[in-house]
């Protein structure tokens, strides 16, 4: 996380933006891509992420569009750009597959947020546990590890954090096998920096 803080917390300049682009566009798997997008947004670079998405999307190349859709799917602000994703879900190629994958990731984030909020606001311990069990099925690192202030269930924060950590590990394991929602190629075949415009 220190590496991410140093890189994504840096003052914006042309060389830093080139580094940011490279970190996102040269991700070898969806797991790496999701981690970079999360770090960028947590360290105040949501504007850069959004601008990159719009640049890739407007380029017209199917790989660029697929990457834009994947970035949206892993963004904490995916709801802001979901309309772009939704209109491409019926494309019958890499773009359509990436759009469907991104929609699923956006819905996961939305449902996780909903169930975690319901969990902290639960009126009974049974409701708390029920909401936690549902949330763990869609939770990833976009969900804060901190309990809601003044919740009746703050004393369960440690258990929630363990469940969250396990859910994140499971998602990471699945994402290591994918790139833009497809089966990830071997590292030797991933040379994205030559494909994307600078």
For the chain, what are the domain ranges?
A: 2-107+181-195, 109-175
Supply the pLDDT for residue 91: 86
Supply the pLDDT for residue 184: 85
Supply the pLDDT for residue 185: 79
- Closest by alpha carbon to 38, among 4, 82, 12, 6? 4
SS3 content of the chain, % helix, strand, coil (to 5): 70, 0, 30
Supply the pLDDT for residue 194: 46
- Closest by alpha carbon to 135, among 106, 118, 115, 109? 115
Supply the pLDDT for residue 189: 62
Three-state DSSP at 140 gives coil
pTM: 0.90
**126: its two tokens:** 């049974």
In 34-69, which positions are buried (b, 16+ CB within 10 angstroms) versus exposed (e)?
Answer: bbbbbbbbbbebbebbbebbeebbeeeeebbbbbbb
Contacts of 91 (CB under 8 A, 6+ apart): 99
Supply the pLDDT for residue 143: 97
Q: How would you write the pLDDT of the chain (198 residues) with one tens digit per residue?
A: 789 999 999 999 999 999 999 999 999 999 999 999 999 999 999 999 999 999 999 998 999 999 999 999 999 999 999 999 999 999 888 999 999 999 999 999 999 999 999 999 999 999 999 999 999 999 999 999 999 999 999 999 999 999 999 999 999 999 999 999 898 877 656 655 444 555
């Amino acid at each position: 996380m220190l590496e991410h803080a140093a890189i994504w917390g840096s003052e914006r300049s042309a060389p830093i933006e080139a580094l940011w682009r490279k970190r996102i566009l040269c991700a070898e798997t969806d797991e790496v891509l999701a981690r970079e997008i999360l770090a960028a947004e947590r360290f105040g670079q949501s504007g850069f992420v959004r601008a990159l998405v719009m640049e890739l999307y407007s380029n017209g190349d199917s790989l660029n569009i697929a990457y834009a859709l994947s970035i949206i799917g892993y963004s904490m602000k995916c709801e802001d750009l979901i309309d772009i994703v939704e209109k491409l879900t019926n494309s019958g190629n890499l773009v359509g597959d990436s759009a469907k994958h991104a929609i699923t990731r956006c819905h996961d984030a939305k449902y996780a947020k909903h169930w975690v909020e319901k969990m902290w606001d639960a009126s009974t311990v049974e409701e708390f546990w029920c909401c936690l069990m549902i949330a763990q099925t869609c939770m990833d690192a976009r969900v804060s590890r901190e309990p809601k202030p003044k919740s009746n269930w703050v004393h369960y924060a440690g258990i929630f954090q363990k469940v969250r950590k396990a859910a994140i590990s499971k998602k990471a394991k699945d994402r290591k096998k994918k790139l833009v929602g497809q089966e990830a190629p071997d590292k030797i075949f991933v040379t994205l920096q030559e494909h994307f415009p600078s």
